[in-house]
Amino acid sequence: MEIFQIVGIGLVATMMIVFLKDQKPEFALLISVATSIIIFYFVIDKFQVVVQVLTNLAKNANVDFIYFTTILKIIGIAYVVEFGAQISRDAGEESIASKIELGGKVIIMVLGLPILMALMDLIIKILP
C-alpha cells in the first residue's frame, strides 16, 4: 500500500525538518522540497491512470476531445500551482505563493474561455 509509504516518508521528513529547523534552516528547506518531489512522484503514476480512464470515458461518450484535453490541462495546472505555492509557503514566502496562485488562476481562466464561449453559444441556441 503506497499510502503508508507516502505517509511514512512525510512523517520522517517532518521529524528531520523539526530537528534541523533551528540549527540548519537551509537543510530543512531542502528536505521539504525533496520530500515534496518524492511524494509528487508517487502520486503522478496514479494520476496517469485516472487520465487514461477519463480519456476512455470521453471517447465512449463522444465528448469533443478538444474540451476534454482543456479540462485535463486545467486540472494539471491547478495541481502544479498548488504544489509550487505550498513549497513557497514552506519556505516562508507567502507573497510568492500568492503570486504563483494568481498566475495559475489567470492561466486557468484563459484556458477555460473557449469552453465558456461554447457553453454560451449553446445556451443562446437553446433560448428562443
pLDDT greater than 80 at residue 63: no
**Confidence at 110, pLDDT banded by 50, 70, 90:** very high
Residues 70 and 111 in one domain: yes
How many domains does the chain fold into?
Answer: 2
Q: What is the mean pLDDT of residues 100-118?
A: 93
Q: Tell me which DSSP letter residue 4 carries.
A: H
Looking at 60, 79, 111, the residue that finishes a domain is: 60
Residues 122 and 67 in one domain: yes
Q: What is the residue range of 30's domain? A: 1-60
Q: What is the mean pLDDT of residues 20-45?
A: 87
Q: What is the mean pLDDT of residues 86-105?
A: 91
109 exposed, middle or buried (CB, 10 Å; 0-12, 13-18, 19+)?
Answer: exposed
Residues 25 and 77 in one domain: no
Residues 56 and 86 in one domain: no
The CA-atom distances, in angstroms, between 5 and each of 9, 14, 38 are 6, 14, 11
pLDDT greater than 80 at residue 71: yes
pTM: 0.73
